[in-house]
Amino acid sequence: MPGPVRLVIRLIVLAAASSAVAYGLLAWQHQGFTLVGVWLVDNDWRLHPVHFLVVGVGLIPPTMWDIFTMEVDAAKRGSDEQRSRNATDG
């Protein structure tokens, strides 16, 4: 997969994770920060806002790590290309 497409996908995942965290916090605050209904079996299989919060917080670190490693790899490739160009010129 090309680099720019991969980066756009990672940025979309990061935006979705941030949105999930924001929604989870706002919805949980609307419920008064209660933990009643966190277990799906006790809540007629409905999602609790904490579930959105956990998924969002869980997605942010690996997505950021992947974006950072993509940037480091691109910088390494750029410096390698620059070195090879300088070697052929001189």
pLDDT of 90 reads: 59
Does 63 reside within a domain? yes
pLDDT for residue 87 is more than 90 = no
pLDDT of 33 reads: 96
Whether 21 and 56 have beta carbons less than 8 Å apart is answered as yes
Q: What is the DSSP letter of 44?
A: T
Does 90 reside within a domain? no
Q: Which two tokens stand for residue 68?
A: 């950072």
Name the nearest CA neighbour of 61 among 18, 1, 31, 5: 18
DSSP H or E stretch at residue 49? helix 49-89
Cα–Cα dist 28/50, whole Å: 7
Does 78 reside within a domain? no
Does 83 reside within a domain? no
Residues 52-81: pLDDT tens digits? 999 999 999 999 999 999 999 888 888 877
Does 25 reside within a domain? yes
Residue 29 structural domain:
8-73
Residue whose pair of structure tokens reads 């966190």 in the numeric block: 38
Residues 5-43: pLDDT tens digits? 999 999 999 999 999 999 999 999 999 999 999 999 988
